[in-house]
Amino acid sequence: MERLTTRAKQVSNKEMTLMERIYLPAILHGMGVTLKHFFMKKASVRYPEVQRPFSPVYRGVHVLKRDEEGRERCTACGLCAVACPAEAITMVAEERKKGEEHLYREEKYAAVYEINQLRCIFCGLCEEACPKEAIFLTDKITPVEEDRASFIYGKDKLVEPLDKRVDVSKRQSWRLNQA
């Protein structure tokens, strides 16, 4: 029969020699291997003091962007939800009233916008489907929570705060270069 591997070793039951029986040479050899690793380049980094660089298009937690004037870009068109293969996105639309023009960019906006981070597979199709450049994935990793309900992110967690804007220009320029 054809062999499946070239590294197979024949197992034998033969009596060990004296050198093998005192085990010392084998132990010393093993310690040598350990010692050698002290001087080798480490495979890990000391997280969180040191962090690995993210790819400019890393797909982490979503953000709902505002425009230059601080108005929400999302118009609740529902294309992200229909594109979502995991069905993680739900929304309820509402009509913008008079006097709310500084809050919402379009005449319709998402009153409720929820992403279930446990369902989300971070494929980025929502970002691709969005006609208003409202939803983007960021380089943020989903934080740990203690119950399942906290993983359903509402607008309070998704919409970028006015004083702490999220920079997605890198993703956008990467996209443009790809196109």
Partner 1 sequence: MAKVTIDGHTVEVPDGTTILNAARLVGGETVPPAMCYYSSLKGSGGKCRTCLVEVSKGSEKDPRPMPKLVASCSTPVMDGMEVKNKTSPRVLDARKGVVEFLLINHPLDCPICDQAGECHLQDLAFEHGKSATRYEFKRREFEKIDIGPYIQLHMTRCILCYRCVYTADQLTNGRVHGVMKRGDAAEISTFIEKAIDNDFSGNVIDVCPVGALTDRTFRFKSRVWYTKPMDAHRDCDKCCGKAVLWMVGNEVYRVTARKDQFGEVKEFICNTCRFDKKEASDWTIEGPRMIDRHSVISANKYFEPEPEHTPLLNKA
Which residue ranges make up the site for partner 1 (CB under 8 A)?
Answer: 75-79, 81-82, 87, 93-95, 106-108, 131-132
Minimum distance of partner 1 from residue 79's CB (angstroms): 7
Minimum distance of partner 1 from residue 104's CB (angstroms): 11
Minimum distance of partner 1 from residue 87's CB (angstroms): 7
Quick check: 78 and 135 in contact, CB under 8 A? no
Give the CA angle between residues 95, 73, 123 to the nearest 5°.
Answer: 115
Cα-based distances in Å from 125 to 84, 129, 164: 6, 6, 25
Quick check: bond before 48 cis, omega within 30? yes
For 64-102, b/e burial (b = at least 16 CB within 10 A) is bbbeeeebbbbbbbebbbebbeeebbebeeeebeeeeee
Shorter beta-carbon distance to partner 1: residue 107 or 167: 107
Shorter beta-carbon distance to partner 1: residue 77 or 158: 77
Minimum distance of partner 1 from residue 96's CB (angstroms): 10
Shorter beta-carbon distance to partner 1: residue 61 or 81: 81
Shorter beta-carbon distance to partner 1: residue 13 or 178: 178
Minimum distance of partner 1 from residue 124's CB (angstroms): 17
Shorter beta-carbon distance to partner 1: residue 76 or 126: 76
Cα first-last separation, the chain: 53
